[in-house]
Amino acid sequence: MSFSSEVKEELVKKTDSARHCQIAEFAAFMGMSGNVSETDNGELCLEFVTENELSVEKFSDLLLRIFSIKMDADTNKMVKNGKETIIRITRQSDVAKILQTLKWCDDRFTQIEPVFVDARIVAMDCCKKAFIRGAFMERGSISDPNKFYHYEIVCKYEEDADILMDMLRFFGLDAKVIVRKNSFVVYMKEGNNITDTLNLMGAVVSQMNLYNVMILKGISNDVNRKVNCETANLNKTIEAAVKQIKDIELIRDTVGLDSLSDSLMQVALLRLENPDMSLQGLGELLDPPVGKSGVNHRLRKIGEKADELRQSMGISV
Which of the four pLDDT bands, split at 50, 70 and 90, describes residue 306?
confident
Separation CA 261–CA 298 (nearest Å):
10
pLDDT in tens, 183-207: 999 999 988 899 999 999 999 999 9
Residue type for position 296: N
Residue 253: the pLDDT is 86
Residue type for position 131: F
Provide the whole-model pTM. Answer: 0.70
Kind plus residue range of the DSSP H or E element containing 154: strand 151-155
Report whether pLDDT(112) > 90: no
pLDDT in tens, 18-44: 999 999 999 999 999 999 988 878 888
Which of the four pLDDT bands, split at 50, 70 and 90, describes residue 94?
very high
Residue 257: the pLDDT is 86
Report whether pLDDT(74) > 60: no
pLDDT in tens, 217-255: 766 676 677 777 777 777 787 788 888 888 888 888 888
Separation CA 63–CA 74 (nearest Å):
16
Separation CA 34–CA 313 (nearest Å):
86
Closest to 198 in 3D by CA, of 11, 5, 9: 11
Report whether pLDDT(317) > 60: no
Report whether pLDDT(280) > 90: no
CA atoms within 13 A on the CB side of 32: 27
Separation CA 61–CA 58 (nearest Å):
5
DSSP-derived secondary structure letter, 258: G
